[in-house]
Amino acid sequence: MTRDFEGKTEQEAINKAVEELHIEREDFDVEILDNGRRGLFKKANVKIRVHIDTNDDEPEQALPDEDESNYVHNADVIDSYDDDSHDSNEEEEEEDLEPNEELETQVCQFLDGVIEHMGYKATTKVVSRKGRKVNLNIESEDSSIIIGRKGKNLDALQVLANVFAGKIDSERKIIVDSESYRVRHEEQIIKNAYRTAQQVRKTGRSRLLEPMNPYERRLVHTALNDVTGIETKSEGDGLYKQVRIISKRRRYN
């Protein structure tokens, strides 16, 4: 479902959407239709389009043998895995590398420059390091644009950051986030997977989830790996495939 809103600023338009639709900010994605810029002295209202996942309209119920405390949370990586192995529940521990402050400074400046060329202001900072990963956070008044629809802009910035960093230090992996989007997005993916698994177990009919990248599919496979009466498999070609959730009862009985 989509709805359009406008306001003097992007945040004002978002606030109107939250108030009128009676939902939380994290429950919808924002697409900027008009940023309101008309020149040096002219400015119009900012126009946005709100995208709401209609799957969330159904009441959320926990699976009988699952607990939300078992959700897998891992905001450290968005990897392009070659497969969707169901059994990889643990990541291999990596030895922490010594901080490369020169690299980190250059990558932050590079991202700030890219975003400036997009027409927005932002400040990128290092927030943590783990193994070979360097986690960056982008702070900006236009964070919803920088994140983009379903995080696509953020993913693109992360790819650019890694290409740039790879020319300086090929051992480092750069993770780019803004407003904790990756954590919130992963939580939503796993909640939706559990909710869909419950529907599949109840009806016996398989369900396809929306197309996801390899890491997102891995989250689903791992989360549902031990759910009784359920199995998962990836379908489709290319990077973005769909996960099918299947009832073992329907399939084998």
Q: List pLDDT tens digits, range 27-81.
A: 677 777 777 776 555 567 888 887 776 544 444 444 444 443 333 333 333 443 3
pLDDT in tens, 120-130: 999 999 999 99
pLDDT at 237: 86
Q: What is the mean pLDDT of residues 91-98?
A: 70
Tell whether the model's pLDDT for residue 243 goes beyond 80.
Answer: yes
Instruction: Report phi then psi at 191, rounded to 5.
Output: -60, -45
Tell whether the model's pLDDT for residue 105 goes beyond 90.
Answer: yes
pLDDT at 178: 94
pLDDT at 11: 83
pLDDT at 93: 60
Note the residue count of the chain: 253
Which of 8, 57, 7 shows the shortest CA–CA distance to 28?
57
Q: What is the mean pLDDT of residues 91-103?
A: 79
Tell whether the model's pLDDT for residue 252 goes beyond 90.
Answer: no
pLDDT at 72: 36
